[in-house]
Amino acid sequence: MAADPLQTLEKNIGHSFANRGILHQALCHSSHSGPKTSYERLEFLGDRVLGLLLAHYFYAAFPNDDEGALSLRLHAEARMSTLADVARALNLPDYIQSQTGLDIAGNDGVMADVVESIMAAIYLDAGLDAAKAFLERHWPLNGHSVSRHEKDPKSCLQEWSMQRGLGLPIYRQVSKNGPDHAPQMTYEVKIQGYDAVSATAGSRKIAEQNAAATLLKLLQERTL
């Protein structure tokens, strides 16, 4: 009897699915099935599950870090290149269904999206503890080694924009709420030709950095 290829993948992932259908969906590119039955909705959920798990991990592992340091650690583990590395270590290109001729293996954006989709599939199949086990098994989780000289999201966004002749990103305060000792500030960032993206945090610096990180991720995905 021929071996079931998904059993090999489940072994690589470290999770056996009770609902195989959701694993199939997590591996289905829109070029193969269309957006309604592709991994896109799962990727949306998986991005949030991953963010929660990483935030909790670094919050517990680095009790002396402030919000800014924790954000840098999280962004390092959630950025596209890290997720693409996880995808290739799991040999995901061998399992993704897509239109013939697409360079799935060489596309970091697709690789990252599928990892997030699998994160969501595990979460829906077996809950947050199973998703946490997936994270701890396959992510480097070496946020402690993030260099203080590593470019922050605002610097990276500025480089992206300037390289394309779009000028400097523009930041603007949208709102400020809460007491002076615990404010919640919302800032947005905009680049010429693209919609603004906003983020809320306890300081202007972190709100701007988080908004820049979100916009940069969206721009990189759109230009793949």
Active site residue ranges: 47, 116
**Tokens 């963010």 sit on residue:** 51
Q: Using the Cα atoms of residue 133, residue 134, residue 136 and residue 137 in order, give the sign of their dihedral.
A: positive
**Tokens 């072994």 sit on residue:** 11
CA neighbours closer than 13 Å in the CB half-sphere of residue 164: 15
**CA–CA gap between residue 196 and residue 190 (Å, rounded):** 4
Q: Using an 8 Å Cβ cutoff, are 135 and 53 in contact? A: yes
**CA–CA gap between residue 5 and residue 77 (Å, rounded):** 28
Q: Using an 8 Å Cβ cutoff, are 212 and 169 in contact? A: yes
Residues with Cβ within 8 Å of 163's Cβ and at least 6 positions away in sequence, in order, are none
**Tokens 């929660």 sit on residue:** 52
Q: Using an 8 Å Cβ cutoff, are 136 and 56 in contact? A: no
Q: Using an 8 Å Cβ cutoff, are 69 and 147 in contact? A: no
